Amino acid sequence: MKSARAFWLLGFALFMANFSWAQESRTYSGATLGTAIALATQQGGQLKSLLMLLTFGMGASLPLLMISYGAQSFFKKYRTRLFHMVHAGKGLFGAIVIAVSLLILSGSDHRLEVWVMKGLPDFWVDLSTKF
């Protein structure tokens, strides 16, 4: 890849790959960063390497900036509603934790498991015991 056109196409491909993977909330940044560093070291010049890694950095940071600014406006708009939902959710979650703890302490969790397993389709039971 000696030509400048091929260099820019490769940098743009890394930018788009990292951008699309970040949108899917998957953890591919380590693999793409390793690829970007390996390709940058093979370019032969410090300026080309710098531009390749800057292009990669733009692809990594742009989705995060978009998400953070979008979340900021969302939280400003629905702040009071979210506060009330969180406050109600704490009590509900606490009740669920206490109920599950009592089921485990009394041994009733095993009876509940048997009852649920009898109601599930066979392929779900096979899937849950396969692994």
Structure confidence at residue 1 (pLDDT): 46
Closest CA to 58 of 110, 22, 83: 22
Q: Is the pLDDT of residue 7 over 70?
A: no
Q: Is the pLDDT of residue 107 over 70?
A: yes
The token pair that represents 14 in the structure block = 């890394």
Q: What is the DSSP string of 14-52?
A: HHHHHHHHHHTT---HHHHHHHHHHHHHHSSSHHHHHHH
d(CA 19, CA 29): 10
- Of the two residues 98 and 10, the one the predictor is more confident about is 98
Burial of 122 from C-beta contacts in 10 A (0-12 / 13-18 / 19+): exposed
Do residues 11 and 53 lie in contact, with contact meaning Cβ atoms separated by under 8 Å?
A: no
pTM of the model: 0.39
